[in-house]
């Protein structure tokens, strides 16, 4: 009956294939033979969620177990949601079209702070109370994982269990425990207490948070003997032996990243002080060239994709990148498959890599200097020089490129007007480099695109102590940048919406008191906050005001080194002593070598019991 209702709505919505399932390689099972049903929820649109590699991996991994069934769920766009509510159609999973409130476990992957209201909206659309305390034993267990759960406190009231770190092993351990306790007739509370004993599992209801008079945290204390004083994240030691899917679900419609994706490494050796991913995904681990080539062949053959992307935080840091590309080319060139290499470092850019990229990016290349002067690049530990930037651009121009996109951040710690002007100066030097190139084809002109994001301080980075720049200051710096650019016909400048960045800053370092604010924002109508056309800053301001939330306290306040952070009871293997040490070095414009050159004693090697994994 529900299937017929859903099908009757499809011609009334945009992109109906988002909502019906049945794609190539999707997994359908007989639910009568299933012990645990898992609804894997991505709190964003189908187009975004179906591009996410982590979801592809865990979906296939769970479905390899015959008695487990993992189905996909995405946030319906506004037109579909309105029709679902109007026709009393609850949120359902794509494989079976069954309501997810009938499942055993509902799991959210939390990739971005601005998806929090979508989590609440999806729970409500499923017919479930959004707060954990209001859900009964006969309702699904709600779990969440992903990068944002390194500080899960702003959504702690809504989630039963958080999964910290990498999910391949811990997800199955959690489902195994659930299957066993379900057969025993255990209560949800008993299951959660038992789950707290699994490394990487955080049950927020087992902890009490106390506050000082100034609003800072006084303590985070376990309220049950089952709860650990510090919850360690999970890591995968060997990427070559860990499960990787041999096929992906292939959508009917175009998605954001519509290609096969092969993960080549995890972690990062660089230590850029603003980059949360570079720290929370440590230690650094690589796959061998043979593994990468085998997985590439398997995915392309099973999906029919004619493009494959090598995925990582910094693909060019793969220690045998040249050998890997040589082996891959033997297959991809023969099969007319395009090979995409995102996340390339400027200091690792070469003629060979450029030739490989030209097959995909004929219109331009993208580099990320992040800051306009060497002093500020040293502050953020970017560890690239202006000579390396210019050399990368020279290689690109000699190879026939006429467009370069440069990513920068505004509002970085210690940033001055000279640093802002340095962005414009760097663009001008790149323009001069192009026109002075001896092999430049006459009549062709260069185009430089500058994209500026507002710096957002994040947990588990050396800049977690720093305030975010105010709206007035960012606006002034944006104006200064525009005024400093002389070759305006050759330079395009764009920047992110500050009103989005400030919400990201509040939520990234927030505590449990923000649960009420998020709930109020959702109740007022906030959802899809990461989409410019949906973001309602005015409603968020109303939510802040109604709940007495001080934006300055969360976004614009300098933290002291001895302040207890909301996430301090969660162990991501990065020691606070290291973060303090790195912050002090930043204030003195001192750099730290990358992990291949010298261990920076961040805490990971001690936590994993020896040298970091990978070919360091």
395-445, pLDDT tens digit by residue? 888 888 899 999 999 999 999 999 999 999 999 999 999 999 887 777 789
What pLDDT, on a 0 to 100 scale, did the predictor assign at position 361?
A: 46
613 pLDDT above the threshold of 70: no
Name 416's Cβ contacts closer than 8 Å, sequence gap at least 6.
none
What pLDDT, on a 0 to 100 scale, did the predictor assign at position 614?
A: 44
How far apart are the two ends of the chain, measured CA to CA in Å?
57
Name 333's Cβ contacts closer than 8 Å, sequence gap at least 6.
none
Peptide bond preceding 185: is omega within 30 degrees of 0, i.e. cis? no
Pairing of β 285-286 and β 265-266? antiparallel
Q: How confident is the model at residue 580 (pLDDT cuts 50, 70, 90)?
A: very high
Whole-prediction pTM value? 0.95
What mean pLDDT is reported for the chain?
93
Strand partners for 36: 68
Cα(202)–Cα(184) distance, integer angstroms: 23
Cα(276)–Cα(282) distance, integer angstroms: 10
Name 231's Cβ contacts closer than 8 Å, sequence gap at least 6.
164, 200, 201, 202, 569, 570, 571
- Triad 345, 587, 274: Cα angle to 5°: 35
Of the candidates 460, 454, 413, 455, the one whose C-alpha atom is nearest the C-alpha of residue 566 is 460
Question: In this predicted model, what pLDDT tens digit does every residue of 354-409 receive, in sequence order?
Answer: 666 665 544 567 889 999 999 999 999 999 999 999 999 998 888 888 999 999 99
573 pLDDT above the threshold of 50: yes
What pLDDT, on a 0 to 100 scale, did the predictor assign at position 3?
A: 85
526 pLDDT above the threshold of 90: yes
- CB-neighbour burial class of residue 362 (10 A; exposed 0-12, middle 13-18, buried 19+): exposed
The answer to whether residues 42 and 48 touch, using CB atoms and an 8 Å cutoff, is yes
> How many Cα atoms are found within 13 Å in the side-chain-facing hemisphere of 538?
1
Task: State the sign of the Cα–Cα–Cα–Cα dihedral 222, 227, 229, 232.
Answer: negative
Question: In this predicted model, what pLDDT tens digit does every residue of 29-57 receive, in sequence order?
Answer: 999 999 999 999 999 999 999 999 999 99
Which H helix or E strand runs over 219?
A: strand 217-222
18 pLDDT above the threshold of 70: yes
Number of C-beta neighbours around residue 168 at 10 A: 15
List C-alpha distances in Å: 337 to 244, 246, 255, 303, 332. 20, 17, 19, 12, 5
Cα(30)–Cα(25) distance, integer angstroms: 16
What pLDDT, on a 0 to 100 scale, did the predictor assign at position 616?
A: 38
Question: In degrees rounded to 5, what are phi and psi of residue 493?
Answer: -120, 135
Domains and CATH numbers, the chain: 2-232 (3.40.50.280)
Question: In this predicted model, what pLDDT tens digit does every residue of 239-279 receive, in sequence order?
Answer: 999 999 999 999 998 898 889 999 999 999 999 999 999 99
Name 100's Cβ contacts closer than 8 Å, sequence gap at least 6.
39, 41, 73, 90, 91, 92, 93, 106, 126, 140
């Amino acid at each position: 009956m529900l299937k017929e209702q859903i099908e009757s709505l499809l011609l009334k919505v945009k992109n109906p294939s988002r909502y019906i399932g049945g794609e190539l390689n999707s997994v359908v099972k007989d639910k009568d033979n299933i012990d645990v049903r898992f609804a894997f929820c991505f709190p964003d649109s189908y187009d975004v969620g179906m591009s996410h590699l982590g979801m592809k991996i865990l979906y296939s991994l769970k479905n390899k177990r015959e008695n487990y069934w993992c189905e996909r769920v995405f946030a319906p766009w506004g037109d579909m949601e309105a029709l679902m509510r109007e026709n009393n159609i609850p949120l359902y999973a794509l494989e079976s079209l069954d309501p997810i409130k009938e499942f055993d476990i509902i799991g959210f992957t939390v990739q971005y702070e601005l998806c929090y209201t979508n989590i609440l909206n999806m729970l409500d659309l499923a017919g479930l109370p959004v707060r954990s305390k209001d859900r009964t034993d006969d309702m699904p267990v709600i779990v969440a994982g992903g990068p944002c759960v390194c500080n899960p406190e702003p959504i702690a009231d809504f989630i039963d269990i958080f999964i910290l770190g990498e999910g391949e092993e811990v997800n199955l351990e959690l489902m195994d425990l659930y299957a066993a306790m379900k057969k025993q007739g255990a209560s949800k509370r008993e299951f959660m207490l038992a789950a707290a004993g699994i490394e990487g599992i955080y049950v927020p209801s087992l902890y009490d948070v106390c506050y000082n008079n100034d609003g800072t945290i006084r303590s985070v204390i376990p309220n049950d003997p089952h709860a650990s004083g510090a919850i360690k994240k999970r890591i995968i030691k060997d990427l070559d032996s860990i499960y990787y899917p041999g096929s992906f679900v292939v959508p009917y419609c175009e998605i954001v990243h519509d290609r096969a994706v092969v993960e080549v490494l995890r972690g990062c050796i660089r230590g850029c002080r603003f980059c949360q991913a570079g720290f929370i995904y440590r230690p650094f681990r690589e796959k061998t060239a043979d593994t990468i080539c085998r997985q590439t062949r398997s995915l392309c053959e099973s999906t029919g994709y004619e493009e494959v992307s090598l995925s990582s935080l910094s693909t060019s840091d793969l220690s045998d990148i040249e050998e890997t590309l040589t082996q891959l080319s033997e297959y991809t060139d023969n099969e007319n498959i395009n090979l995409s290499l995102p996340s390339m470092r400027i200091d690792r850019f070469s003629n060979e890599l450029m030739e490989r990229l030209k097959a995909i990016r004929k219109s331009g290349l993208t580099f990320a200097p992040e800051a306009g002067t060497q002093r500020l690049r040293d502050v953020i530990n970017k560890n690239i020089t202006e000579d390396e930037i210019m050399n990368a651009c020279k290689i690109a121009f000699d190879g026939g490129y006429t467009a370069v996109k440069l990513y920068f951040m505004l509002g970085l710690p210690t940033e001055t007007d000279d640093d802002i002007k340095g962005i414009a100066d760097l663009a001008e030097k790149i323009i001069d480099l192009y026109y002075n190139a001896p092999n430049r084809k006459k009549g062709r002109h260069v185009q430089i695109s500058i994209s500026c994001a507002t710096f957002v301080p994040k947990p588990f980075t050396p800049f977690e102590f720093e305030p975010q720049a105010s709206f007035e200051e960012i606006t002034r710096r944006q104006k200064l940048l525009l005024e400093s650019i002389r070759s305006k016909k050759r330079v395009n400048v764009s920047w992110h919406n500050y009103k989005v960045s400030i919400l990201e800053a509040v939520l990234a370092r927030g505590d449990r008191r923000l649960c009420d604010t998020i709930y109020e924002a959702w109740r007022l109508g906030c959802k899809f906050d990461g989409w410019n056309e949906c973001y309602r800053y005015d409603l968020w301001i109303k939510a802040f005001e109604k709940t007495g939330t001080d934006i300055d306290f969360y976004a614009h306040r300098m933290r002291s080194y001895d302040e207890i952070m909301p996430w301090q009871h969660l162990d991501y293997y990065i020691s606070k002593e290291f973060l303090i040490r790195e912050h002090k070095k930043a204030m003195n414009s001192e750099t730290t070598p990358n992990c291949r050159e010298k261990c920076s004693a961040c805490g990971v090697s001690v936590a994993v019991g020896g040298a970091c994994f990978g070919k360091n």
